[in-house]
């Protein structure tokens, strides 16, 4: 997708509305939404807008999708197989499990600790075991 925008930089060196070529004294400005066409002035951009509107919206949506669905950088370690959150880059915050050779985040340890404290019955205090006497 981005290859098309780079190709248009090389081939389209004239105003999309009036056709004036880009030379040293005339600098063309790209359409900020789609980067497909260039204009010599705001007037030319306004005049050309009805013809360009549909293609502009389509390309702008493609660019937005490209940003949203871009693959993560190569330093990305993948997702935790338990909670499906991205693994932290800091290796001290994740654990390599020897049983399955998978790296998991340390959130499982915290979740397990919370679960254990919720399931454990609270021991009655010493006073209630003795028969309610306060000594």
Distance of CA 96 to the CA centre of its chain: 26
Q: How confident is the model at residue 3 (pLDDT cuts 50, 70, 90)?
A: very low
Instruction: Select, from the ranges 12-16, 54-58, 104-108, the one with the highest average predicted confidence (pLDDT).
Output: 54-58
Point out which residues pair with 38 in neighbouring strands: 30
* pLDDT score, position 99: 84
Do the Cβ atoms of 18 and 54 come closer than 8 Å?
no
Task: Write out pLDDT tens, residues 41-98.
Answer: 899 999 999 999 999 999 999 988 888 887 666 556 778 888 888 888 787 888 888 8
Distance CA 126, CA 24 (A): 91
Helices (H), the chain: 2-11, 42-68, 107-119, 126-130
Q: To the nearest 10°, the Cα dihedral for 17, 21, 25, 27?
A: 50
DSSP H/E element including 18: none
* Side-chain half-sphere exposure of 98, counting CA atoms within 13 A: 0
* pLDDT score, position 116: 79
């Amino acid at each position: 997708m981005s290859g098309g925008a780079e190709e248009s930089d090389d081939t389209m060196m004239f105003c999309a509305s009036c056709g004036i070529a880009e030379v040293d004294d005339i600098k063309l400005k790209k359409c900020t939404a789609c980067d497909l066409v260039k204009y010599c002035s705001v007037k030319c951009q306004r005049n050309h807008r009805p013809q360009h509107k549909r293609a502009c919206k389509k390309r702008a949506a493609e660019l937005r999708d490209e940003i949203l669905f871009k693959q993560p950088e190569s330093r990305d370690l993948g997702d935790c197989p338990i909670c499906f959150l991205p693994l932290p880059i800091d290796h001290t915050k994740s654990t390599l499990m020897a049983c399955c050779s998978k790296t998991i985040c340390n959130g499982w340890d915290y979740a397990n600790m919370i679960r254990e404290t919720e399931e454990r019955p609270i021991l009655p205090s010493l006073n209630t075991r003795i028969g309610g006497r306060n000594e």
